[in-house]
Amino acid sequence: MAAIGQISTGMTVDRTLSSSNNIGVSLSPLRKTLIGAGGSSSLSLRQYSLSVRSIKINENNQKTKVYAENGAFDLGMLDSSVDSYKLADSRRSSDLKRKTKIVCTIGPSSSSREMIWKLAEAGMNVARLNMSHGDHASHQITIDLVKEYNSMFVDKAIAIMLDTKGPEVRSGDVPQPIFLKEGQEFNFTIKRGVSLKDTVSVNYDDFVNDVEVGDILLVDGGMMSLAVKSKTSDLVKCVVIDGGELQSRRHLNVRGKSATLPSITDKDWEDIKFGVDNQVDFYAVSFVKDAKVVHELKNYLKSCGADISVIVKIESADSIKNLPSIISACDGAMVARGDLGAELPIEEVPLLQEEIIRRCRSIHKPVIVATNMLESMINHPTPTRAEVSDIAIAVREGADAIMLSGETAHGKFPLKAVNVMHTVALRTEASLPVRTSATRTTAYKGHMGQMFAFHASIMANTLSTPVIVFTRTGSMAVLLSHYRPSSTIFAFTNQRRTMQRLALYQGVMPIYMEFSDDAEDTYARSLKLLQDEDMLKKGQHVTLVQSGAQPIWREESTHLIQVRKIKIG
């Protein structure tokens, strides 16, 4: 059993917050002293190691000073991207765990037991079931395999996300692909079974009523486009703007409009019931138009006693119009850029992605960036440079997770795609500045949990320590994730459901462990587990966070931050 040496009890609170804290840090040169007599900032952080001595956290402005032998310098002095990068690089050298999570869509290329295991080991955090494809029997096999994998580990968890098909408008079946040419006249009819060289069916009876003369129809996510010239009671007459190859069952969008179909269809309700029976962790609900849809689903889940989080897919003009209320009602969001870029001008998508991420982060909701992230790797073993940049941008903007669709579902190189996403995310995270800025992310003064998560993140960043939190519901781990400490958040929980749900949150490594009535015993067992798995080393410091009323601590609500040094007994 590891012996634990406590060096400082930080903020110990019983219903009220203590504000006086002095801890400390000094810099020891590895090669030669680069700080002048006046504490000049000509400092190369690659050449210094940190040893704990004394840090002062000013609760008024949250600025932190690091004290060296010849003076002090403010971390805020490191304003250039190069200096910030050096700081981040040096701080993360001993913490190489990826923080941005990876969602993998399971399909023919990845549904075997062997592939699910390999994807999990390569970096998959969430397995997505796309209910637009496959049947309940095939998805049941995937669910059982993921649960089998989860049962084998206490420190690895793969969450299960069921993605509903939603109200899609699609073209009908065609025996052979139809080649559309620019300027050609082409028609869509609500009559079933029509497949001619200039006319095909659509699966939506109100299609004629929904479109107007002058509307732009986008086919297959914008691969082809047509302008509506006229319409009859059962026919929409168009002229081709951008041609291409029209195959069976291609998705149709009207730019700037959403279909009047219900957001949750009869098929979706059957799939949702299937998810309840199998206790999936998340629903990703397609084409959410307003908050009413979210409330309807949540009320249904409550009536079933189902503890399943609702992720809304932002992919329509209506969802953007009602974005604030939708984000407020849901448990998380997905930026579904394919249909979003079809219904709205494509140049708006990057700006909308940034805005959706910002809104979700501001209210502690996880956010996933999806669609076309490594599209070329469906058929090729290496990504385009633009795809690599796309991943990096999503990571830098603060997405909790990034998603692979066809790349892992039916692509030729599913494992390589996951590996690329893993390495790009990891490298990008290492370049991010280590900073918890009060002007960027502040805690509500009336919310004790947020205040403690905020200060714990500052302490962990300043001391370059991992964070350990004990939680049953996952709420404190979620708050810590919101403030983005630079090191890993080890979230110990005695609830398997909580463990799996936390698999989606940025920076959180959920670990299952039974809690004892003795707090010190629980601390010691958690640290020993991390040491045994080489996640902590002798002499390393950790920031321990406890918040709320739990039997492990005491009956009344208690909040505590501690910094402890690990020793081998």
Q: What is the DSSP string of 280-301?
A: -SEEEETT--SHHHHHHHHHHH
Q: Examine the fold and report which residue of 414, 431, 448 is the final residue of a domain before the chain moves on.
A: 431
Q: Are residues 328 and 273 in the same domain?
A: yes
pLDDT at 73: 37
For residue 567, name the pLDDT band (cuts at 50, 70, 90): confident
Mean pLDDT, residues 219-224 taken together: 89
Residue 489 lies in a domain: yes
d(CA 506, CA 398): 8
pLDDT at 353: 98
Residue 14 pLDDT more than 50? no
Mean pLDDT, residues 323-338 taken together: 97
Q: Are residues 193 and 151 in the same domain?
A: no
The torsion angles phi and psi of 67, rounded to 5 degrees, stand at -95, 120
Q: Would you give the end-to-end CA distance of the chain in angstroms?
A: 7
Q: Tell me the β-bridge partners of 239.
A: 185, 227
Higher pLDDT, 351 or 56: 351
- Kindly report the CATH number assigned to the domain that includes residue 514: 3.40.1380.20
Q: Among residues 345, 346, 395, 340, which one has the least CA distance to residue 371?
A: 340
Residue 16 pLDDT more than 80? no
Mean pLDDT score of the chain, rounded to an integer? 83
pLDDT at 37: 35
| 474-522 residue pLDDT tens | 999 999 999 999 999 999 999 999 999 999 999 999 999 998 888 888 8
Residue 26 lies in a domain: no
- Of 9-23, 79-93, 247-261, the one with minimum mean pLDDT is 9-23
- Kindly report the CATH number assigned to the domain that includes residue 186: 2.40.33.10
Number of domains in the chain: 3
Residue 342 pLDDT more than 90? no
Q: Are residues 546 and 455 in the same domain?
A: yes
* Percent with pLDDT over 70 in the chain: 79
pLDDT at 309: 98
Which residues lie closer than 8 Å to 137 by C-beta, 6 or more apart? Answer: none
Mean pLDDT, residues 201-216 taken together: 94
Mean pLDDT, residues 198-208 taken together: 94
- Kindly report the CATH number assigned to the domain that includes residue 287: 3.20.20.60
Residue 552 pLDDT more than 80? no
Residue 205 lies in a domain: yes
| 380-430 residue pLDDT tens | 999 999 999 999 999 999 999 999 999 999 999 999 999 999 999 999 999
Higher pLDDT, 47 or 363: 363
Q: Are residues 509 and 536 in the same domain?
A: yes
* Percent with pLDDT over 90 in the chain: 64
Domain assignment of residue 326, given as a range: 101-167+266-431
Q: How many residues does the chain have?
A: 569
Q: Are residues 359 and 401 in the same domain?
A: yes
Q: Distances from the Cα of 360 to the Cαs of 336, 364, 505, in angstroms?
A: 14, 6, 12
Q: Tell me the β-bridge partners of 130.
A: 163
pLDDT at 442: 53
Q: Distances from the Cα of 284 to the Cαs of 313, 359, 397, in angstroms?
A: 6, 18, 21
Q: Distances from the Cα of 372 to the Cαs of 123, 336, 351, 390, 474, in angstroms?
A: 19, 10, 17, 9, 31
d(CA 67, CA 558): 32
pLDDT at 13: 35
Q: Are residues 271 and 283 in the same domain?
A: yes
| 158-168 residue pLDDT tens | 999 999 999 88
Residue 173 lies in a domain: no
Q: Are residues 292 and 398 in the same domain?
A: yes
Residue 65 lies in a domain: no
| b/e code 551-561 from CB counts within 10 Å (16+ = b) | ebbeeeebbbb
Q: Are residues 514 and 446 in the same domain?
A: yes
Mean pLDDT, residues 327-347 taken together: 93
Residue 37 lies in a domain: no
For residue 261, name the pLDDT band (cuts at 50, 70, 90): confident
Q: Are residues 523 and 404 in the same domain?
A: no
Mean pLDDT, residues 138-166 taken together: 96
Higher pLDDT, 87 or 525: 525
pLDDT at 12: 36
d(CA 253, CA 246): 14
d(CA 56, CA 70): 17
Q: Distances from the Cα of 3 to the Cαs of 165, 399, 470, 528, 552, in angstroms?
A: 53, 38, 19, 9, 20
Residue 80 pLDDT more than 80? no
Higher pLDDT, 178 or 341: 178
pLDDT at 54: 30
pLDDT at 365: 96
pLDDT at 8: 37
Higher pLDDT, 472 or 40: 472
Which residues lie closer than 8 Å to 99 by C-beta, 6 or more apart? Answer: 425, 429, 488, 506, 507
**Plot region of 358 (φ>0 → left; ψ -120 to 50 → alpha; else → beta):** alpha
Q: Examine the fold and report which residue of 234, 254, 274 is the final residue of a domain before the chain moves on.
A: 254
Residue 79 pLDDT more than 70? no
Residue 45 lies in a domain: no
pTM: 0.80
Residue 424 lies in a domain: yes
**Plot region of 200 (φ>0 → left; ψ -120 to 50 → alpha; else → beta):** beta
pLDDT at 256: 83
Residue 53 pLDDT more than 80? no
Q: Are residues 139 and 283 in the same domain?
A: yes
| 428-471 residue pLDDT tens | 999 988 765 443 445 555 577 888 889 899 999 999 999 999 99
Q: Are residues 445 and 525 in the same domain?
A: yes
Q: Are residues 361 and 396 in the same domain?
A: yes
Q: Examine the fold and report which residue of 190, 225, 254 is the final residue of a domain before the chain moves on.
A: 254
> Catalytic amino acids?
128, 170, 313, 371
d(CA 123, CA 370): 17
